[in-house]
Amino acid sequence: MSDLAVAVCQFRPSASRADNRARVAEFTAKAAAGGARLIVFPEYTSYFVEPMDATFAENSETIEGEFVAALQDAASAHDVTIIAGLVESAGERVRNALVAVDATGLRAVYRKQHLYDAFGQTESDWIEAGELDEPQTLDIDGLRIAMMTCYDLRFPEVARRLVDAGADVIVVPAEWVRGPLKEHHWTTLLAARAIENTTYVVAADHPTPIGVGHSQIIDPQGVVIAGVGTAEGIAVAELSTAAIAKVRETNPVLELRRYRVVPR
């Protein structure tokens, strides 16, 4: 059986890409000092302004750009893996990407599949949706990690595909915009994805006033085992394959499934 210490870093990315890189390095050092081996940052960590505008394309980067290089430097300095949101170059528009990086370089990429065209927002004005590719995963200390982004959380089939790919831990970087009942939706859906898949869910959000905050680490029974409130902060928790096995022994929900997810 294996254990993995994970941190969620709730912070407020800005329009300064250099400042965002510096803050990631700062948070990484603090989380690593707390024992974390996997450190998770929010969606749009590399660049963010509200409302979204043409500056996203102007400040986008390739996978080979400064942001991923800075993540690799921080990961190497502290012997950790970092997952963070990248505004990735994609022609006239951009992709809302997540990158997993360690000392060796890029380990996995995820591009947001469901864009936030809801609650009065139209993310698709600026963002190009990711392809429905086979999930990319990475193994850290005996646990398999997979990723989804923010609004993807409302579509349970996204998480199910990740679990079908062997994920023990679903990482959810987000910029979960505030609004009526939005905090309730966030916490409910995070718990639901954990419970229905008997997996850990690790979610990092932006703090208030734009995000709802409440970054959380949730166990396979849907219990929050570590979290942050509405301000910036870090939470660390230990994940265990033994805990997953124990839950699945009494609730073999994955074995009892009679449907499979087929991307359209």
Known catalytic membership, residue 9: no
Identify whether 150 is a catalytic site residue.
yes
The answer to whether 15 touches 55, Cβ cutoff 8 Å, is: yes
Which is the catalytic residue, given 9, 150, 175, 183?
Answer: 150
Pair 245, 255: CB distance under 8 Å:
no
Where would I find the H helices in the chain?
A: 17-33, 55-58, 66-78, 156-164, 182-197, 241-250, 253-256
Closest among 92, 88, 127 to 110, alpha carbons compared: 88
**Active-site choice (9, 88, 112, 123):** 112
Q: Rounded CA gap, 169 and 163, in Å?
A: 8
Whole-angstrom distance, CA of residue 182 vs CA of residue 14: 22
Identify the sign of the CA torsion 151, 153, 157, 163. Answer: positive
State the catalytic residue, choosing from 43, 123, 175, 183: 43
Give the span between the Cα atoms of 166 and 207, in whole angstroms.
Answer: 31
Whether 43 is a known active-site residue: answer yes
| Residues catalogued as catalytic | 43, 112, 150
